[in-house]
Amino acid sequence: MTQMIPTTDTLYEQDFVAWCEDTVAKLKRRELDNLDFENLIEEIASLGRSERRELRNRLTVLLAHILKRRYVKSSENFRGWELTIIEQRRQIKNLLQDSPSLKPYLGQIFTGAYEDALEEVRFEYQLTDFPDTWQFDIEADVLLAKAYWEED
């Protein structure tokens, strides 16, 4: 009984890791005629979307925790919120270091990320008054370093 070798299209659909390995091998051998360009283009494009989505998610978490730390009077939670702020800042810095072209994107997504963060904290802390708009500088270097809760 002969085992049928899947075509490139079915390999992509049946075993993504094997498709990746096959594609890398073909690229290394410069076998451009045998590449599955359609799926390769889609996968490369999705990598960029994935990085942007991760940046937005991390920014939303960062903003939500800055809002909590700044406006919610709950000292027993301050340390946990600050640890989350530190971690999200670290991860955002790593993303921006790995992909510097994401830095302008940070400004593009800021308003939407703030709105998402605001929706979350307003639901969680219904008795706390949070500002409708971000009250501080949105410059990336400031956002990733400043202790906003120390301001009055």
Q: Is residue 88 part of a domain?
A: yes
- The dihedral through the CA atoms of 10, 15, 19, 25 has a sign that is negative
Q: Is residue 43 part of a domain?
A: no
pLDDT value of position 28: 95
What is the enclosing helix (H) or strand (E) of 6? none
Q: Is residue 94 part of a domain?
A: yes
Neighbour-count burial of 67, counting CB atoms closer than 10 A to its CB (0-12 exposed, 13-18 middle, 19+ buried): buried
pLDDT value of position 134: 95
For residue 128, what are the domain limits?
52-150
Give the model's confidence band at 52: pLDDT under 50 very low, under 70 low, under 90 confident, else very high: very high
Q: Is residue 16 part of a domain?
A: no
- Copy the structure tokens of residue 121: 């904290």
Q: Is residue 13 part of a domain?
A: no
Q: Is residue 76 part of a domain?
A: yes
pLDDT value of position 145: 92
Q: Which is more confident, 16 or 29?
A: 29
Q: How many other CB atoms sit within 10 Å of the CB of residue 121?
A: 20
Q: What's the structural domain count of the chain?
A: 1
